[in-house]
Amino acid sequence: MWAERAQSLAGCGPASGGRSVDVDSANAVRKPVHPADVSVDVLAWLARAAVGLGRWDDARRAVEDVMALAGEAGGADHRLAYVAAHVAAWVALTQGCYDVVARHARDACAAARAARDPLGALRVRLLAAEAERRMNRRRLAERLVRYRSEE
């Protein structure tokens, strides 16, 4: 069910019939029906898909929904906090809000470490390094991508 709705949103699945999907269909996908972790993953995917389609308002709304769902779970589930901050940093990077990327990257990196997800922490560090590179702060970007065993 989720896969068909997601493909329909992207306009590539059999449910779309090769035509564009209206906003009500997209909002129907965004409503959390499953447990919070599944909903956060689906909303994170929808935020990325909305960026790919150039639908910036939908991407921002999906990020807000992801952050709200992760906030409802509280600090108990670090994976949800990581996914929420990571997708927020990614959407901010695509929109050129580099200071926002740094803030969300710090939160996501801390949550990934708390969730014992070293690859997640690395992904976020690469996002932060890309934001620094785009601001012509190459030395800071180099420091972000260097491996540090103490972290």
Mind listing the pLDDT tens digit for each residue in 5-36? 454 545 544 444 444 444 455 455 444 444 55
Instruction: Give the other-Cβ count within 10 Å of 7's Cβ.
Output: 15
Show the beta-strand stretches assigned E in 9-134.
Answer: none
What's the angle, vertex CA 116, arms to CA 125 and CA 92, rounded to 5? Answer: 35
Predicted confidence at residue 68, as pLDDT, reads: 86
pLDDT digits (tens, 9 = 90+) for 102-125: 999 999 999 999 999 999 999 999
Predicted confidence at residue 77, as pLDDT, reads: 80
Q: Is the pLDDT of residue 92 over 90?
A: yes
Q: What distances in angstroms separate CA 147 from CA 34, 75, 86, 143, 150, one per listed residue?
A: 37, 27, 19, 9, 9
Predicted confidence at residue 149, as pLDDT, reads: 45
Query: Does the predicted TM-score (pTM) go above 0.75?
Result: no
Instruction: Provide the token pair at 136.
Output: 């012509």
What SS3 string covers 56-90? HHHHHHHHHHHHHHHHHHHHHCHHHHHHHHHHHHH
Residue 69 has, within 13 A of its CA and on its CB side, a CA count of 29
Mean pLDDT of 114-140: 91
Among 65-74, 104-113, 140-149, the minimum mean pLDDT is found in 140-149
The residue with tokens 């990325």 is 48
Q: Is the pLDDT of residue 61 over 80?
A: yes
Angle 78-95/56-73 helices, nearest 10 degrees? 160
Question: What b/e sequence results for 124-141 when a residue is b if at least 16 CB atoms lie within 10 Å of its CB, and e otherwise?
Answer: bbebbbbbbbeeeeeeeb
